[in-house]
A and B are shown apart, each in its own frame.
Chain A
């Protein structure tokens, strides 16, 4: 019987298809094909179209579809449309009363959201009063569980009102005999009944909403008034949500997501709580159209109301949500920013400077979370709060170098360019003391911090100068109101400072490979300052960095050094061309820079190159500080690419490939003209791109025993 039923259904569909226009029929058949591929869609269609009075018992199509939908629902959750269809199907009681309704409700697990309309429809079915009591209860419990998922996208407020009015309808329906019911309740309720938790909870809410109506005093702890019922959907819903969450790409929604309080545990001192967004005191009469930040839900709303937004009562609360941070970026009110700085400075001072630590290491998660929040905020604004700058300067003088190390170093790198004297006194001096007395990992951290700081300064500078070219009217000297000469002086000072730290640090730490790389990282930034940031500054690494890198036992270090020297050369060449073309008098590069670089180049080339006879003409007017270089050169002969300890391994491998039968490895046989180039190609094929750039670019200019390349 059931088979004929479903068949007849299909037949009628097919008939309509025949009667329809040709293109329509083709579309229909397309859809049909899709249906065949998508049984779930077909099942939903069945539920939306099934007519009232269709028999339930022995209906295989119904049973099959139910099982299918149930499996999908419990597996990955139902899409919003499906939730709407099924809810409508269940509550309309089209196919019988009790069993089907509760069965559908029980597996109604949404994948992401429940459409608001469907809930509204459901409530109207509910109010018709045809549902059995058990189904009514089940439906209400379902709403309670799904409450947070009810879709409220753009019409949040309308929805609230709609929904409230609907709930009012429910209440009215329940209390349509309200005068009598209430009277009865009034008569029956005794003191003990009045203390029932749900009633107290409701009364407490009313007391908050309209305190003038309820004068009784409430017990302070009414929590747990509503039992967190162990609702049947909870676990399934959680599983589905978790599954979907891991499946989809993590895209943090832009919303007013008030950050959760770090812990519910009551701290003795509430230094680190970011205040909640709230509007200003009513004492000050506010403008008529003012919008409160906490009312906004989306970035679009923020943009629409940007001019009417009222600042919150506590500026610190702006740090509590991402949307508020967007707004903070537009705030130009001096007082407001000062308030924020007072708040932030006071929090930092109280927590890290004044507060005597009780030596409890468990306490440190909350402070580090706060610092993380500050770091991400400053990253977002691309600026350092001046209160955090002052805090850091004070904190550095008493820092042991380990407390919240990653966070503090990260914050330090946000410090803007300041006059050299201040920078030396407040940053360089204390940091240097910590640097020399700490582990190699702290040293790496410091170098990385200073690199990141330099990178931020250079980026600011670059944006500033390019802004000036775009629009002269912009009074753009705000992130850096140092003059150009002061800025150059500061950058020079920083680079030299890092040079000193690195040379001494390398020696202290026995040329630790990590420190090597961190240092070269720094110089990879410094060597490209002219080409990348348009800053005519050429600062070479000190010998204490170059030669340890050149003679390192690790090939990657040598390779990176090659890259750094190559980039220095590109920068200098380009600056020279620029100078010759424009003939600007202000653009001046000291001859010493070129001389120093040439000397460095000669040293490195003659070291790595085969250099039978390393006769280098270093000139007679060599800078006195560079004299040690010349003595270095005499030792360099044994460090060419074949005998260099970092590449020895490769040389032997190459030798074995060339002369596999020879057991006696004679590396000097590679020095032959042909083999030498093959050997170089072999090295380049191993990924030493820095070395490749360096060698290929210098070949044309250096006299080599092997002639042109």
Chain B
């Protein structure tokens, strides 16, 4: 780290100069046998584990814990298929590093071996390696620093999360609907769907029938098509994805309405419109009747004072008169 700090100086010196600096830094780090990424290279215990499961991929994750951090530091790790996992905690303190006690726990169980401790400068590194091959190795792994006041970092190993739908799906009786669950970049071994009948989860689609059809265009999604909906089909539906390392699920809520629900609102509004139209037309007829006796002889007024009277309204004789007069001309 100290070696690499030189590169953070002024921007973009001449290219050859940059190259020289880079080569010097790399050589220096190789000489010291230090590098920030791997403080634990070439130790015999590590080699044993890696050779047993060497065909699995390796995942490395780091957490940094300081003695001033009051909040527990956590990192979520998503694992889909079996792999070797390397968890590293680094602890910075101003005090004496050699007196700090380091422990690892899985859940509440204390872990005895498979971990290493190393100090470099003012940072204490500890690393735990585990070969995750089935669901028993998944869970929370925590590194603890110190005796009395323990500083802690936690790694949560989980299978990928499945997304259902947060908002309820609204459908109508007799309709059909497609419920979908998907996850971001995962390839589950298998998908299953469950419907909740009360509090009991009932698997769907088995045996194969017309009502429930499970399909999926891509491996990372699943679709459940339900036809001939009735109000009994209302409720929560669960989708489960099965991985080598465990199970994960999501849920979708289905609401089935009868057509009467919006129909009632529709009829209410239509009635209101009919009422409005009737009121407007009646009002007009009423004002016409009031003006008719006093209207004779008041033709061609330069009408500014006639605020109320402006039309020959309902009889619609105006247009017809127009036509007759134009013919007459």
Do they bind each other? no
Residues of A that sit less than 8 Å from B by CB: none
